[in-house]
Structure 1
């Protein structure tokens, strides 16, 4: 009877956790809708790159512009998942719905392990302190803010937690790897390339537990998927890794180019940057704590969980990225927090500790969740910024002046837009990525490419070019958004590239200017070079 009661309370706690997540997301979505004229806008412009690729996948094309292949997505699988959402007529709500489902599933798993770590067979009431602990740890998962980035990170968090929980089930129940563990291992690298570290560590643990056949077969599935992806990209004339990974990760770019010297230097530089980031300190500390916790146990039952979580954390420190709205490292902290709840359960549920266990976990949660609390608070403002800047650029490019355009912030401008968009940053153009990697931004090749693609005008951030824009370009307009504490770029400069369209572009800007939101201004210039 006691066992049934414990199980019932555990499920009730998990349901409450999911309800808290959904309520938080509903409130956040309502705030965003109210600030953006009833329109759902994500807190980053990046998801619209994925949506742009997804809409072309439905047309049988891999790229941003029809007729030009490109690999702008940071994920192998996510654009295909979004394509299913677009095919189901979900539109821009597709990323939100997918990410809400993923985050709720991840929180369900977290809540179950939190209940186990703070309850005993004789004391498993639904205490307010346990709910406060849950709320704190939910911020470590960035449970409300992360789905509203519209990116694949919520799915990656879920897959990572599935791996840790699956390893725990395998080790504690002394049973073969279950479907959740196998699915999580396969999904991690298909959602984010850094997921290879956790999947590799988990496969090693499965093999060491004697399930060599399953480890080899599961690893073979991952290799097959990645091999098919690389073969497909190569056949399209694209690099083996996505352009976004190559542009944002010098180590990945060096590895793809087989430049060992550059790769080693990039790893050294990445390590140096990591240890100036507060979240890297927590990841390193949690890795050490997990290994210590496994050693201190009287049995080796949770060694697979501790070792896999520690190894994957160390790998992210070596080659991973940090920050940018708290999305790059959140999956590491999510699976490490879950691993701590599992590995330290015997200690947390000890008779002399059980009462203070939630307090210990709340302290850990507050320390690690601080950046994500700030991100959650700033999410409506970030979404409003995207609405005021990138969405207005999209409106101008599709409704007022649908001509070939050059940009350096690919996303909304390219989504739901069949007119050619030249990405001067290189995510949506392999030509540009190579040129930037070789010589940086230079007026000569920018002029050549804009002429080749018939670009009429450009909407760019001057700060990104250090004076290297073509001198013949005429700055004919400025899109200004109010100053903010968020790490977003301010004004967008609108340049006339093709002089024959000067009068038409100026007229379009004059028509567009009165239609922008109240806190956004469009200034039209005679010509500023």
Structure 2
């Protein structure tokens, strides 16, 4: 049967079936390599994944919203993801694999939604297959699965929002879709607080077009869950926003307009330097926007979506962060690629060149220039995902094993809290401030130092931190007992974890415990310290 004779529904299925096969194959190969490197254990490529798992465990089985079961802490920047994990634990038990299976299912949903999005652009099946395969690599989708975090969920909700927005923009009387759009606006900040950027840009464009009711409704519904959670956090003695948002994203207080603008500009330029592929995608969005505007001569659905993605990207780069594994900007890379697919495939350069062949060559070069860095960066991260999981296994997971064996219900001091909090029942003092309010407050006030650390760690039995993070802030009385150094570090905050005794009476016990545990560390972890001496 020829392609012309093939029923359209059979032809269309290949538009998402082939990308699903590519996604499944890459995920399976990555899993096999990672399991082999990690002694058969499923390990996530981010310690932050275990923060969500720890909070979900404590919510599901102890009724506590916190990193430990002993106290409340507003440490999650994705309340919905944490709640989804807690629900899964209540239904099937405390399984560390839950984030992996969630992300696998969400990856499938993303590719199906992406195929529908590209269908609306009128792309052929081969074009849709190519675009989705590029998305898998550039996002990058497989590393997001192994991150164990909410970034695929964020991208799926954003894409559903864009699809609903396009329908509502072109067909204002579509009441059901308008209701869906409003519901998704309420959901976005619960997935990640950066969802507010998308809602703000969309509402601004709607109000500009005098669609006041819908624009104000989007803002109100997005603000409602943020306000409800914020008031709950405040009642628990924390801040209106999660500590992770405040500590990692603070712009500072008491700044004048000029200083604030300068700081925002520096953050924007720093983010572009850290994620240069975003600069090329911004350029592509501008080219696509001009091309589509000239073609449509009006603010149609496609132009609207490009404006929304462009505005959201600019706000994120100015006010938020780009991060390791490309996870913070993953939703922007995916949405940019999808809205750019149509303009890039249909870019008409014939009037600039003497022959169609030259025009097509130039079109391919423009597309390659815009997408090359995103694909290369995503491809690099995809290839190195097993290495990232091994970093976490060699460092954070071994720290958790050590704490579970010797300090399971004791107080320990950390700066990476995820794996230890999830795999043990230890009391945690978090020197990064995500789980310890006093540390976060001191960091926000600029008063963090040795005295505050000493006050918070008087009852601690062991300290496991990156000393390079605290060059002038550690108490002088702390005694270094040992160090673990991992090879080929890609994802951890430092390749060396230092073990310190916070008081003289804890040093001998810590030394003995490290000596006892030493034979059980992976062979590639380099150990140093006098505890190794017989």
Q: How does 1:33-182 map to 2 (within 5 A)?
A: 33-58=35-60, 59-88=62-91, 89=93, 91-114=95-118, 117=121, 119=123, 124=124, 127=126, 131-172=129-170, 176=174, 177=177, 181-182=181-182
Structure 2 unaligned blocks of 5 or more? 351-355
Paired with 1:203 and 1:3, the residues of 2 have a C-alpha distance of 45
* Residue aligning to 2:336: 336
Aligned pair partner of 2:424 in 417, 439, 447: 417
- Residue 436 of structure 1 and its aligned partner are, at CA, apart by 2.3
- Residue 21 of structure 1 and its aligned partner are, at CA, apart by 1.5
**Is the Cα–Cα contact under 8 Å of residues 485 and 497 in structure 2 kept in the other structure?**
yes
**Is the Cα–Cα contact under 8 Å of residues 512 and 531 in structure 2 kept in the other structure?**
no
Distance 1:198 1:7, change over 3 A: farther
Q: Does 1:385 align with 2:391?
A: yes
**Is the Cα–Cα contact under 8 Å of residues 136 and 366 in structure 1 kept in the other structure?**
no
Paired with 2:67 and 2:262, the residues of 1 have a C-alpha distance of 32
Paired with 1:2 and 1:455, the residues of 2 have a C-alpha distance of 73
Paired with 1:306 and 1:476, the residues of 2 have a C-alpha distance of 56
Distance 1:496 1:440, change over 3 A: same
CA RMSD of aligned residues (A): 3.2
Instruction: Please say which of residues 468-477 and 198-207 is displaced more in the overlay.
Output: 198-207
**Is the Cα–Cα contact under 8 Å of residues 52 and 415 in structure 1 kept in the other structure?**
yes
- Residue 117 of structure 1 and its aligned partner are, at CA, apart by 4.9
Instruction: Please say which of residues 52-61 and 358-367 is displaced more in the overlay.
Output: 358-367
Distance 1:472 1:294, change over 3 A: same
- TM-score normalised over the length of structure 2: 0.87
Aligned residues: 516
Paired with 2:100 and 2:379, the residues of 1 have a C-alpha distance of 20
Paired with 1:294 and 1:53, the residues of 2 have a C-alpha distance of 46
Aligned pair partner of 2:484 in 467, 472, 479: 479
- Residue 428 of structure 1 and its aligned partner are, at CA, apart by 0.7
* Residue aligning to 2:268: 271
Q: Does 1:10 align with 2:20?
A: no
- TM-score normalised over the length of structure 1: 0.88
Paired with 2:290 and 2:340, the residues of 1 have a C-alpha distance of 11
Cα displacement string for residues 379-400 of structure 1 (whole angstroms, at most 9, x for unaligned residues): 1001001000000000011113
* Residue aligning to 2:468: 463
Distance 1:343 1:482, change over 3 A: closer
* Residue aligning to 1:197: 197
- Residue 203 of structure 1 and its aligned partner are, at CA, apart by 3.3
**Is the Cα–Cα contact under 8 Å of residues 72 and 243 in structure 1 kept in the other structure?**
yes
* Residue aligning to 2:29: 27
Q: Does 1:248 align with 2:254?
A: no
**Is the Cα–Cα contact under 8 Å of residues 137 and 379 in structure 2 kept in the other structure?**
yes
Paired with 2:349 and 2:282, the residues of 1 have a C-alpha distance of 25
